[in-house]
Amino acid sequence: MQTKKVIDHIVNWLKDYATKANSKGFVVGVSGGIDSAVVSVLVAKTGLPVLVLEMPIRQKADQVDRAQGHIDFLKANFPNVEGFRVDLTPTFESFEKTTEGYKDDSPSKNLAEANTRSRLRMVTLYYYGQINGFLVTGTGNKVEDFGVGFFTKYGDGGVDISPIADLYKTQIYEIAKELGVLESIQKAKPTDGLWEVERTDEDQIGATYPELEWAMEQQKVGKTEADFEGREKEVMSIYLRFNRATQHKMNPIPVCEIPEELKLD
């Protein structure tokens, strides 16, 4: 990959889009992860106003430290960046109390609460975005957004623009190195940070990002599980299972089209 040229292309695309959309700048949620770190540097390089928000909800200390360290890095290097913490823990805990008692034994309860965290962050980003006239900027990568659907619908998937959604995770690491993103972020294991216990992306999916990227490329040329053996067969099966189950996230909302003759009196 021509890393420097890719960076320039994204930065120019962001500036052009903001201009055409009559937007004053960008708002980005930073988690201490590689994707949000890269996106926040890319929008900062546009020279337009940028607001970066850390939005902890009972977050692990190492995630908080990385997010705060990255905000400090941005402020030190880009005068157009403002950043601060919006602690959503009280808001989330209030929601927990409000919904307490309804199907507490449901096997989907923990997942519903995890997704609620992401959706609260989306609401917060749009609140600050609208106040400032900023675009809510997505941090999803190609395999997450279009491969395994590893994002929360109307959570981190609820954005105005997606500057890195055509790049694989491995390519984003290359960009992070070129941009000088903090070593602690580059070396951290990817996690969505939505669970009470530490659960990396690999723990949840069952495959690494390089493996998933390989499977996505195989799918493009029409390969299935039947074409492989051993670990490759297992990875292909994992990828396709996620891909099939998350099409509702990747495709437009289904619209019930009413026959014209039924609309007539």
Q: For 102-137, what is each residue's pLDDT tens digit? A: 888 899 998 999 999 999 999 999 999 999 999 999
C-alpha separations of 140 from 37, 147, 149, 206, 265 in Å: 11, 11, 10, 19, 47
Domains of the chain plus CATH, in order, are 3-203 (3.40.50.620), 206-264 (no CATH)
Helix (H/G/I), strand (E/B), else coil: 48: coil
User: 116, 121, 118, 111: which is closest to 97 by C-alpha?
Assistant: 116
Query: Do residues 49 and 80 lie in contact, with contact meaning Cβ atoms separated by under 8 Å?
Result: yes
Q: What is the pLDDT of residue 103?
A: 84
Query: Do residues 129 and 27 lie in contact, with contact meaning Cβ atoms separated by under 8 Å?
Result: yes
Q: Lowest-confidence range among 149-153, 192-196, 208-212?
A: 192-196
Q: Tell me the whole-structure pTM to 2 decimals.
A: 0.91
**What are the tens digits of pLDDT across the range 135-179?**
999 999 999 999 999 899 999 999 999 999 999 999 999 999 999
**What are the tens digits of pLDDT across the range 43-65?**
999 999 999 999 999 988 888 89
In this structure, what DSSP letter does residue 194 have?
Answer: -
Query: Do residues 126 and 136 lie in contact, with contact meaning Cβ atoms separated by under 8 Å?
Result: yes
194: pLDDT strictly greater than 90: no
- Reported in sequence order, the residue ranges of the chain that DSSP labels E, i.e. its strands, are 25-29, 50-54, 81-85, 134-136
Place of tokens 């990396």: 200
195: pLDDT strictly greater than 80: no
User: 31, 81, 66: which is closest to 201 by C-alpha?
Assistant: 31
**What are the tens digits of pLDDT across the range 10-26?**
999 999 999 999 999 99
C-alpha separations of 214 from 32, 87, 147, 228, 234 in Å: 26, 38, 11, 12, 12
